[in-house]
């Protein structure tokens, strides 16, 4: 499995393209908003002859789904996310304008809902969806046991955790999600977050002041 990370938009959000030897791929958290970011994403896909099978969202805060409409227009794939985050698609234009972002179209509607323990298959690879609410009610992580890695969105960061002061966030729920569903994973599990550098489960157990 190969992972290509793009850092997008003024929030410095991590967008991931994940693919394997079959050249089938998924995109996780398309945060591309500016033309240069969109071009970099599509150029990489073209250069590597990738076939995009899924557009996935760990959650639907606006900086993680800016590019969903562009990807639908380009590849014909609707984004997939947990149903409990669908309310975040409302009023995206107004939200974006409040931050000064040039968004004039409504958010791209979802295609399918992601549910707990769902297996998302592309090529010879599988990601397992783990519902980890707290940062948002529909936050999910995508875990690959075979490759010993997990994509966690804004649930867990290097030395930190996701904020819980946004709509329907809850601190106690977030801590429970992390301690019950993430920390039991092997210490060597590589954690790819929605912002900032990667870390590992073991490092966070030993060093994260919130856990």
Q: Is the dihedral of CA 44, 45, 50, 54 positive or negative?
A: positive
- pLDDT the model gives residue 84: 98
Domain extent, residue 39, equals: 2-207
Domain tally, the chain = 1
- pLDDT the model gives residue 99: 77
Q: Minimal CA–CA distance to 155: which of 128, 127, 183? A: 183
CA gap 94, 182 in Å, rounded: 34
Locus of tokens 């394997």: 20
Rg of the chain (C-alpha set): 16
Average pLDDT per run of 10 along the chain, which is 211 residues long?
A: 97 98 98 96 98 98 94 98 96 79 84 98 98 98 98 98 95 98 98 98 98 94
Q: What is the CATH number of the domain that holds 104?
A: 3.60.15.10
Q: Contact, 90 vs 108, CB < 8 A?
A: no
Q: Contact, 161 vs 178, CB < 8 A?
A: yes
CA gap 181, 67 in Å, rounded: 29
Q: Minimal CA–CA distance to 48: which of 29, 71, 13, 22? A: 22
């Amino acid at each position: 499995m190969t992972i290509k990370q793009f850092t997008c938009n003024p929030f410095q959000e991590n967008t991931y393209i994940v693919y394997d030897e079959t050249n089938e791929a998924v995109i996780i958290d398309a945060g591309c908003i500016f033309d240069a970011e969109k071009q970099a994403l599509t150029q990489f896909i073209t250069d590597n002859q990738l076939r995009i099978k899924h557009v996935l969202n760990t959650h639907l805060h606006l900086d993680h789904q800016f590019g969903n409409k562009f990807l639908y227009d380009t590849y014909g794939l609707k984004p997939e996310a947990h149903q409990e985050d669908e309310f975040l698609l409302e009023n995206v234009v107004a939200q974006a304008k409040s931050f000064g972002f040039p968004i004039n179209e409504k958010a791209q509607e979802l295609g399918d809902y992601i549910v707990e323990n769902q297996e998302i298959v592309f090529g010879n690879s599988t990601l397992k969806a783990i519902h980890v609410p707290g940062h948002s009610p529909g936050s999910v992580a995508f875990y690959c046991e075979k490759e010993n890695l997990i994509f966690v969105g804004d649930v867990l960061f290097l030395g930190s955790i996701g904020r819980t002061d946004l709509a329907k966030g809850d601190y106690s729920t977030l801590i429970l999600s992390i301690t019950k569903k993430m920390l039991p994973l092997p210490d060597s599990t590589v954690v790819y977050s929605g912002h900032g550098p990667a870390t590992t489960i073991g490092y966070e157990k030993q060093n994260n002041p919130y856990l």
